[in-house]
Amino acid sequence: MDLRIDKVSHTYGSVEVLRDISLDIPQGQIVCLIGPSGCGKSTLLRFLGGLEQPTSGSVLQIGEPDSDSLNPLTYVFQHFALLPWRTVEGNIKLVLEDHGISGSEMDKIVTDVLARTRLSDFRTALPKQLSGGMKQRVAIARALAVRPAVMLMDEPLSALDSQTRELLMDDLVGLWTRQPFTAVYVTHNLAEAVRLGHRIVVLSRRPGRIRAIVDIDMPLDERALANVELEAKQQELWELMREEAAAADQELLNV
pLDDT score recorded for residue 56: 96
DSSP 116-162: HTT-GGGTT--GGGS-HHHHHHHHHHHHHHT--SEEEEESTTTTS-H
Q: Report if residue 125 sits inside a domain.
A: no
**pLDDT reported for residue 224:** 65
* CA 222 – CA 139 distance, rounded (Å): 26
Long-range contact list for 12-20, CB < 8 A, 24+ apart? Answer: 15/206, 16/206, 16/207, 17/43, 17/206, 17/207, 17/208, 18/43, 18/44, 18/54, 18/207, 18/208, 18/209, 19/207, 19/208, 19/209, 20/57, 20/209
Domain that holds residue 34: 1-62+186-255
- Kindly state whether residue 80 falls inside one of the protein's structural domains: no
The alpha carbons of the chain give a radius of gyration, in whole angstroms, of 19
Tens-of-pLDDT digits for all 255 residues of the chain?
Answer: 899 999 999 999 999 999 999 999 999 999 999 998 889 999 999 999 999 999 999 999 998 888 888 989 999 988 888 999 999 999 999 999 988 888 899 999 999 999 999 999 999 999 999 999 999 999 999 999 999 999 999 999 988 888 888 889 999 999 999 889 999 999 999 989 999 999 999 999 999 999 999 999 888 988 765 576 778 888 889 888 888 877 765 665 555
CATH of the domain at 236: 3.40.50.300
Q: Does residue 128 belong to any structural domain of this protein?
A: no
Sheet order of strands, 2-12 included: 15-25, 2-12, 56-62
| Domain assignment of residue 70, yes or no | no
pLDDT of residue 52: 92
| Residue 153 placed within a domain | no
How many domains does the chain contain in total? Answer: 1
Under a CB-based contact definition with an 8 Å cutoff, are residues 193 and 236 in contact?
no
Q: Is 61 exposed, middle or buried (0-12, 13-18, 19+ CB in 10 A)?
A: middle
Given this model, what pLDDT does residue 95 score?
A: 92
In a domain, 208, yes or no: yes
User: pTM for this one?
Assistant: 0.89
Domain membership of residue 77 (yes or no) is: no
**Predicted local confidence at residue 100, as pLDDT:** 81
Assess if residue 52 is contained within a domain.
yes
pLDDT of 126 reads 97
